[in-house]
Amino acid sequence: MLDFMRRQRSKLKWVLVLVIVVLGGGMVISFIPGVGDGNRLSASRSSDVARVGNETVSATEFETSYRNYLRSMQQRQELSPEILKAFGFDRQVLNALVEQKIKLAEAKRLGFDVTEEELANRIMTNPSFQAGGSFIGRDRYQALLQANDLTMERFESVVRDELLVGKVQSFVTAGVTVSDKEVEDEYRNRNEKVTLTYFVLDPAKMETKVATPSDQDLQTYFDKNKVRYNVPEKRKSKYAFVDTVKIRTELKVDDDELRNFYGEHSEEYRLPEEVTAQHILFKTDGKTPEQIEAIRKKATDVLNRAKKGEDFSKLAKEFSEDASAKEGGNLGTFGRGRMVPEFEQVAFTLGPGAISDLVTTQFGFHIIKVNSRQDSRLRSFDEIKEAIRPRLLFERAGEKAKGIAEQIALDAVTNKDLNAVAAKNGATVRETDLIEQSATIPELAKTSAAYLAKVFSLSQDQIGTAIEVQNGYAVPQLVQIEAGHPASFAEARAKVLADAKAEKAREMVTDATSKIRQQVEAGKTDLAALAQVAGGAEIKTSMKLTRGGSLPEYGSLAERDQEMFSMPVGKAALPATFSGKTLVYAVKSRDEVNPEEMKKALPDLRQTILPAKKERYFTAYIDEVQKKMTTDGSIRINDRALSEISNLVQ
Q: Which pTM does this prediction carry? A: 0.55
Tens of pLDDT, residue by residue over 230-268, are 999 999 999 999 999 999 999 999 999 999 999 988 888
Residue spans of alpha helices (H) in 581-638: 595-631
Tens of pLDDT, residue by residue over 294-312, are 999 999 999 999 999 999 9
Element (H, E) at 227: none
Whether pLDDT at 6 is above 90: no
Q: What's residue 139's pLDDT?
A: 85
Supply angle C-alpha 94, 95, 96, rounded to 5. 90
Tens of pLDDT, residue by residue over 316-325, are 999 999 889 9
What's the pLDDT band for 401 if we cut at 50, 70, 90? Answer: very high
Whether pLDDT at 403 is above 90: yes
Q: What's residue 265's pLDDT?
A: 87
Higher pLDDT, 285 or 184: 184
What is the DSSP annotation of 393-449?
HHHHHHHHHHHHHHHHHHHTTT---HHHHHHHTT-EEEE--SEETT---GGGGGGHH
* Average pLDDT of the residues of the chain: 87
User: Which overall architecture, per CATH, does domain 273-375 show?
Assistant: Roll (3.10)
Report the percent of the chain where pLDDT is more than 70: 90
Whether pLDDT at 574 is above 90: yes
CB 520 within 8 A of CB 167: no
- For residue 61, what are the contacts with CB-CB under 8 A and spacing of at least 6? 33, 49, 97
Q: What's residue 471's pLDDT?
A: 93
Give me the mean pLDDT over the 326-337 stretch.
91
What does DSSP assign to residue 134? E
What does DSSP assign to residue 650? -
What is the DSSP annotation of 559-586?
GGHHHHTTSPTTPBPPPEEETTEEEEEE
Whether pLDDT at 3 is above 90: no
What sign has the CA pseudo-torsion 282, 283, 287, 288?
Answer: positive
CA distances from 481 to 61, 237, 415, 435, 439 (A): 51, 9, 22, 10, 15
What's the pLDDT band for 650 if we cut at 50, 70, 90? Answer: low
Q: Of 3.60.150.10, 1.10.4030.10, 3.40.50.300, 1.10.3720.10, which CATH number belongs to 10-175+628-649?
A: 1.10.4030.10
Give me the mean pLDDT over the 128-157 stretch.
83
What's the pLDDT band for 440 if we cut at 50, 70, 90? Answer: very high
The fold adopted by the segment(s) 233-244+399-483 is Chitinase A; domain 3 (3.10.50)
Element (H, E) at 118: helix 116-124
Whether pLDDT at 345 is above 50: yes
> Residue 380 corresponds to which amino acid?
S
- Span(s) in the chain for CATH 1.10.4030.10: 10-175+628-649
d(CA 483, CA 233): 5
d(CA 290, CA 279): 24
What does DSSP assign to residue 189? H
Higher pLDDT, 138 or 5: 138
What's the pLDDT band for 222 if we cut at 50, 70, 90? Answer: very high
Tens of pLDDT, residue by residue over 487-546, are 999 999 999 999 999 999 999 999 999 999 999 999 999 999 999 998 889 999 999 999
- Span(s) in the chain for CATH 3.10.50.40: 233-244+399-483, 273-375
